[in-house]
């Protein structure tokens, strides 16, 4: 990643947008809103908070509508059902209007207090500032899972995705526009963010545990996200199938040579059914694994080819800030 400090940019931000995907986050919403507002307002620039309600079935939708009603800086975007974290972030990116856009989780695991330092890096000329977790307060199986995932992804993917960086980041308008125009429907935002390039820099922070509520990513969903990330950014698993096939051919050849040798040299027949069973099982698993890998790619091709939208918006609530400003400006 290119992280040499580029030429400083002029100190002007017309507007900062913060995008917050929310799925049943009623418990942390008040505190989130307070801390986010404090952090954004302290910078003395215009800002907007885009809350994306990802088909929540608790009080989240009405809470964000209330906030949008009370606060001109808040936009409440409702998706028509639960589409998932990545689609919700994509919806926010499409609807954010700021020159600088911050993506932040709704469970306060991404501290809003980091935003001013991100903006400082942007002022230095960086176009993407992503947060890097120094420490994670999660259960150890989850930590191990993340650890393995990021390393595996980097080992096999064709682009370099920074280790331990999540979706918490700041992006320049240029980058957001490029992301919004990528034709892919299956969006693995942190991968695409690396793919587009630009001047990027990581900012370290300690990731706290969730404040309230339960993680929306179950182990199964995290595994699915990991597989999608791997498949979207690398063709190497396909090659793995080829290698496994070649290895199986090698083993089979060796074994046959050994059996023929024993038969002709000593007149021995090969021992027992156990070895046969092992070979059959081995071959069966290699074939199933290869089929599975191919199947994963076909699934993604299938999803892309259908061309269905990544998310669907039911409605968008916000106070008309521009017209309101114009009205109050009138003598
Ligand atoms: N989220 C979402 N849709 C989903 C699942 C999660 O919008 O289907 C939101 C969730 O409300 C939170 C963020 O995505 O703001 C990250 O979710 P979570 O905390 O469960 O993920 P983790 O921190 O475990 O990566
Ligand atoms: Mg979380």
Q: Which atom of ligand 1 is nearest to the CA of 217?
A: 20
Look at residue 323 in the predicted model and tell me its pLDDT. 44
Identity of the highest mean pLDDT range in 17-21, 200-204, 267-271, 325-329: 17-21
For residue 292, report the phi and psi dihedrals to the nearest 5 degrees. -60, -45
Atom of ligand 1 nearest to the CA of 107: 15
* Residue 142 banded pLDDT, cuts 50, 70, 90: confident
Interval 84-134: pLDDT, tens: 899 999 999 999 998 999 999 988 888 899 999 999 889 888 999 998 887
- 3-state class percentages of the chain: helix first, strand second, coil last, to nearest 5: 50, 15, 30
Model pLDDT, residue 7? 64
Which of the listed residues 18, 20, 21 should we mutate to test ligand 1's pocket, taking the one with most ligand atoms within 8 A of CB? Answer: 21
Query: What confidence score (pLDDT) does residue 324 get?
Result: 43
Give the tokens for residue 184.
């892919």
Q: With 70 as the cut, is the pLDDT of residue 329 above it? A: no
204 or 163, which is more confident? 204
Instruction: Spell out which residues line ligand 1, taking CB within 6 angstroms.
Output: 21-23, 25, 54, 82, 84-85, 88, 105-107, 109, 215-217
Mean pLDDT along residues 285-299: 84
Summarize the confidence of residues 14-22 as an average pLDDT: 92
Query: What are the phi and psi torsion angles at 186 (to 5°)?
Result: -80, 110
Cβ atoms 145, 138 nearer than 8 A: no
Which pLDDT tens digit goes with each residue over 66-86? 999 898 889 999 999 999 899
Q: Ligand 1 test: best mutation among 18, 60, 104, 107, most atoms within 8 Å of CB?
A: 107
Give the pLDDT confidence of 225-266 residue by residue, as tens digits: 778 877 887 778 888 878 888 888 888 788 888 888 888 888
Give, using CA atoms, the residue closest to atom 19 of ligand 1: 215
Q: Which ligand minimizes its atom distance to the CA of 23?
A: 1
Mean pLDDT of the chain: 82
Q: Which two tokens stand for residue 116?
A: 């001013």
pLDDT at residue 328, as a whole number: 41
Nearest ligand 1 atom, CA 23 = 11
């Amino acid at each position: 990643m290119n992280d040499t400090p580029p030429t400083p940019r002029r100190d002007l931000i017309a507007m900062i947008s913060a995008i917050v995907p929310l799925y049943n986050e009623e418990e942390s919403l008040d505190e989130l809103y307070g801390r986010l507002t404090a952090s954004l307002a302290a910078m003395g620039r215009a800002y907007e908070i885009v809350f994306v309600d990802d088909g929540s079935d608790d009080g989240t939708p009405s809470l964000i509508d209330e906030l949008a009603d009370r606060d001109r800086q808040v936009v409440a975007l409702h998706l028509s059902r639960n589409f998932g974290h990545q689609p919700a972030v994509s919806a926010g990116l499409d609807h954010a209007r700021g020159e600088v856009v911050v993506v932040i989780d709704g469970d306060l695991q991404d501290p809003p207090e980091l935003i001013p330092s991100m903006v400082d890096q942007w002022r230095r000329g960086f176009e993407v500032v992503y947060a890097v977790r120094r420490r994670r307060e999660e259960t150890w199986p989850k930590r191990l899972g993340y650890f393995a995932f990021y390393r595996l992804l980097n080992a096999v993917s064709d682009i370099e995705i920074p280790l331990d960086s999540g979706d918490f980041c700041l992006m320049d308008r240029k980058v957001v526009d490029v992301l919004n125009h990528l034709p892919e429907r299956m969006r693995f935002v942190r991968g695409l963010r690396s793919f587009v390039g630009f001047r990027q820099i990581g900012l370290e922070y300690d990731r706290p545990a969730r404040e309230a509520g339960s993680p929306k990513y179950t182990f199964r969903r995290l595994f699915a996200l990991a597989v999608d990330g791997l498949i979207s950014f690398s063709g190497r698993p396909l090659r793995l199938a080829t290698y496994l096939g070649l290895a199986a051919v090698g083993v089979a050849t060796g074994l046959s040579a050994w059996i023929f040798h024993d038969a002709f040299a000593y007149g021995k027949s090969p021992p027992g059914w156990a070895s046969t069973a092992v070979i059959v099982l081995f071959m069966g698993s290699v074939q199933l694994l290869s089929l599975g890998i191919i199947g994963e790619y076909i699934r993604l091709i299938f999803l892309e080819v259908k061309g269905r939208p990544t998310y669907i918006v039911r409605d968008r609530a916000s106070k008309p800030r521009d017209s309101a400003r114009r009205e109050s400006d009138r003598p």
